[in-house]
Amino acid sequence: MTKHSDGKSCGKSRGNSTLALPMPAIHRRDMLALGAGGLLAASGFGGARAQTKAAPPPPAKPTGQVVVGLSQEPTAFNPLMPGIEVDETVWMQIFNTMWLAQPDGSLVPDLAVEIPSEANGGISEGGLAWKVKLREGVTWHDGAPFTAEDVKYTLELINAPGFKARTRVGHSLVKDIKVTGPLEISWRMEKAYAPYLALLSNTFIVPKHLLEKAADPNTAPYNAAPVGTGPFKWGTRTPGDNIQLVANEKYHGKGPYLERAVLKYVPDQTALYAQFRTGQVDLIIGTGIPANFYAEAVKLPGRKVMKIPSASLEILMPNLENPVLKDKAVRKALYASINKQAIIDIIYYGLHTPTESFAPQESWAYNPNLPKQSYDLALANKILDDAGWKRSGSGTRMKDGVPLTFAVSTTTGAALREQAQQLMMQDWQQIGVKMTINNMPAAVIWGDFYTRSKFDSLLVGTAFRTVIDPDPAHRFGSDAIPAKNGNGANQMQWQNAEADALMKDGQTTFDQAKRKAIYVKLQELVREELPILPIYQYAPVEGYKEGLIGFEPNVNARQNTWNMGVWYWAR
């Protein structure tokens, strides 16, 4: 199997530079595609690997084009500015990061020569001092040489006060950035922060010589026609329709083998699938092929369709400040009376995998020994009886005058999720819980209602980690509750001193074995306390035309165009 990164690391310090860190990725799209929840499917892959057995060699010079079908439109092209997950399909082609996560979880150097670690001296003083050596001979698409000044500029721009940076998580800890040579850079961290390695695998480096000239980098013309170091150069864009990228023949890595890559926006997922069927798009990635078409799609002649691994989970997210849901016994009873298997098999065509953990099953930090949930209404009834929730005349339980009732919200129009809500409602009715449905459009639900924890509970697809690192501190930390002026995304409002201590240790330790022990314990704690009720782990269905070589799903990349530079057509 040809890998994008092989080319990047070859010729330099290949071999000793690879750091084995299996780190699955967060998938923003699952949150955005909440409305399309039913369109995503379970894990298991292999079609891509199977076809490469007898793959012909790549063409000598870039040849042909690929049309990638997307159901969301990429619109933000400065990779440091606010964008949605689909924008990364463009960033990954135009730009490079210092290192890149592989499907097996290892990081391989890209713009850097090696991954800094405590062993090679790249990270020292207990994680406070970082030093990175950069690759020689890399040029920007306009011909200018890539240097350490570009990296310095990028890290400084992210923290610049007036700049609309997408996120400053981790970057805000970076101080004293020093260029110590044309291709050498060092900086200090305010505190030891292990996930920064993962964050940098998703931080695209932008050119200083072009952006510093702009009066305001927020509105620079550059943002509409970016220049990078990646395998493809910016071509043309037809807003609302497509983006064309052209081969960068001076690319420092392997490839590109395609002359042109077209990112085609087809908003309606049924229409997108029709275009895949009729051959107008060569592949579907991202939100993927709707689950209800899966059985038909795998039989399409001339198409490879597969379930791909994803790091996102479908969960019921309770608001722990809700008078009912803050009772652990209630959460336990609710969890015991969710018929997970029925939801997966009947509603989602059996595509998903049930899960007990907040960590994806491909993660090195995954704990496979968590107690398995079983659908047990008698147990649920007993838990509630024991906790003092007494059945009232109407059948709804009460405790201290508070009825056991709450609402479950999700995005309006997510048909399969609505069916899941109804299944839960029926089950919970039998244990004396009255659940109501309070669905809203995406733009409403993801506003203050979600960020400021104004919901009772949400049915949602999301992930709990920092980029591709298992650290979930900004989702579970007591100081990460926006409704309590915290800085993070702990919308459940979970506060647990033991969890806080574990997460702090996990961030300041660089030893993977030690970190694993920490996160294994944290998963046990979360499974016991149930700040989230995990239902299943996602895997979308993606597909491509036969003859396309090089497509490889990567649970550690945000989009499966991560290695498009090495794609080509069998001739």
Partner 1 sequence: MSSFLLQRLMQALLLLLIVSMIGFAILHLAPGGPMSQFAAGGDMTQADLDRIAEQLGLNRPLPVQYAEWLWRMLSGDWGNSYRDQQPVLHIIAGHLGPTLELMLTSTLLAMLLGAWIGIIGAVNRYSLFDGIATIGTMIALSIPTFWFGLVVIYVFSVGLGWLPSGNRFTIGDGSFLNRLHHLIGPCIVLALVSTAVWSRYMRSSMLDVINQDFVRTARAKGVPERRILMTHVLRNALLPMITITGLHVPSLLSGALVTETVFTWPGMGRLFLDSISYRDYPVVMGILMFTAVMVLLGSLLADLLYGVADPRIARSGR
Judged by the rule CB under 8 A, the positions of this chain that interact with partner 1 are: 26, 28, 31-32, 34, 65, 67, 73, 75-76, 78, 81-82, 84-85, 162, 164-169, 218-219, 223-224, 238-242, 244, 260, 262, 264-268, 270-271, 274-275, 277-278, 280, 440-447, 449-451, 462-463, 466-467, 474-475, 480, 482, 485-489
Least distance CB 439 / partner 1 (angstroms): 13
For residue 60, count CB atoms less than 10 angstroms from its CB and return exposed for 0-12, middle for 13-18, buried for 19 or more: exposed
- Return the half-sphere exposure (C-beta side, CA atoms, 13 A cut-off) of residue 559: 27
Between 259 and 529, name the residue whose CB sits nearer to partner 1.
259
Which bin fits 368, alpha (ψ -120 to 50), beta or left (φ > 0)? alpha
Least distance CB 440 / partner 1 (angstroms): 8
Per DSSP, helices labelled H in 431-510 are 442-445, 448-451, 473-476, 497-508
Between 379 and 440, name the residue whose CB sits nearer to partner 1.
440
Least distance CB 76 / partner 1 (angstroms): 7
Q: What share of the chain is helix, strand, coil (3-state, %, to 5)?
A: 30, 20, 50
Closest CA to 508 of 192, 179, 63, 211: 192
Between 178 and 454, name the residue whose CB sits nearer to partner 1.
454
Name the token pair of 405.
């009732």
Between 69 and 553, name the residue whose CB sits nearer to partner 1.
69
Least distance CB 187 / partner 1 (angstroms): 21
The radius of gyration of the chain's CA atoms, rounded to the nearest angstrom, is: 24
Least distance CB 530 / partner 1 (angstroms): 19
Burial 61-76 (b: 16+ CB within 10 A, else e): ebeebbbbbbbbbbbb
Q: Using omega within 30 degrees of 0 as the cis cutoff, is the peptide bond preceding 534 cis?
A: no
Least distance CB 221 / partner 1 (angstroms): 10
Name the token pair of 115.
């991954």
For residue 142, count CB atoms less than 10 angstroms from its CB and return exposed for 0-12, middle for 13-18, buried for 19 or more: exposed
Burial 287-324 (b: 16+ CB within 10 A, else e): bbbbbbbbeebbebeebbbbbbbbbbbbbbbbbbbbeb
Least distance CB 417 / partner 1 (angstroms): 15
Least distance CB 228 / partner 1 (angstroms): 17
Closest CA to 488 of 505, 471, 501: 471
Least distance CB 463 / partner 1 (angstroms): 7
Segment (H or E) for 152: helix 148-159
Between 199 and 336, name the residue whose CB sits nearer to partner 1.
199
Between 124 and 167, name the residue whose CB sits nearer to partner 1.
167
Between 148 and 463, name the residue whose CB sits nearer to partner 1.
463
Backbone angles phi, psi at 17, to 5 degrees: -90, -10
CA dist., res. 213 & res. 220, Å (int): 9
Between 145 and 235, name the residue whose CB sits nearer to partner 1.
235
Between 179 and 444, name the residue whose CB sits nearer to partner 1.
444
Least distance CB 337 / partner 1 (angstroms): 27
Between 389 and 538, name the residue whose CB sits nearer to partner 1.
538
Which residues on adjacent β-strands are paired with residue 109?
99
Least distance CB 446 / partner 1 (angstroms): 3
Between 51 and 462, name the residue whose CB sits nearer to partner 1.
462
CA dist., res. 245 & res. 421, Å (int): 42
- Per DSSP bridges, beta strands 457-462 and 405-409 are parallel
Least distance CB 267 / partner 1 (angstroms): 6
CA dist., res. 512 & res. 352, Å (int): 29
Between 483 and 525, name the residue whose CB sits nearer to partner 1.
483
